[in-house]
Amino acid sequence: KAGVTQTPRYLIKTRGQQVTLSCSPISGHRSVSWYQQTPGQGLQFLFEYFSETQRNKGNFPGRFSGRQFSNSRSEMNVSTLELGDSALYLCASSIGQGRSYEQYFGPGTRLTVT
């Protein structure tokens, strides 16, 4: 079974631009969660989608948004990029929603904002 895939793997953007990251979950998984990983803040939860609905959201500004499609693929969008948005963005999928379900992580998208 293929793992979680994220595209692109690397991205360089300029301040003020917007960016869209994509995540394809493991086949059969209906929940997708997004995390931001930085050296200073560590791993922080962004949001979780299940059955095309955002179920939970972390403490991030409205510039961070996402969506999930009917095939469970998910996209994350960051508008008006800031230097502090430079990070590794990780996507994780699980069969169901909630803390009891095991999450499988993708390799991440490395975003650099200049």
Q: Which is nearer to another protein, 66 or 106 (CB)?
A: 106
Based on the shown chain and the rule CB under 8 A, indicate whether residue 28 belongs to the binding site for another protein.
no
Among 64, 68, 78, 106, binds another protein (CB under 8 A): 106
Q: How far is the CB of 107 from another protein (least distance, A)?
A: 5
Integer angstrom CA distances of residue 79 from 14, 61, 64, 113: 11, 10, 7, 12
Cβ 22 vs Cβ 107: under 8 Å: no
What residues numbered 38-97 form the site for another protein, per CB under 8 A?
A: 42-45, 48, 56, 58, 90, 92
Bridge-based pairing state of the strands 87-94 and 109-113: antiparallel
Among 72, 103, 111, 113, binds another protein (CB under 8 A): 103
Partners of 39 in the β-ladder: none
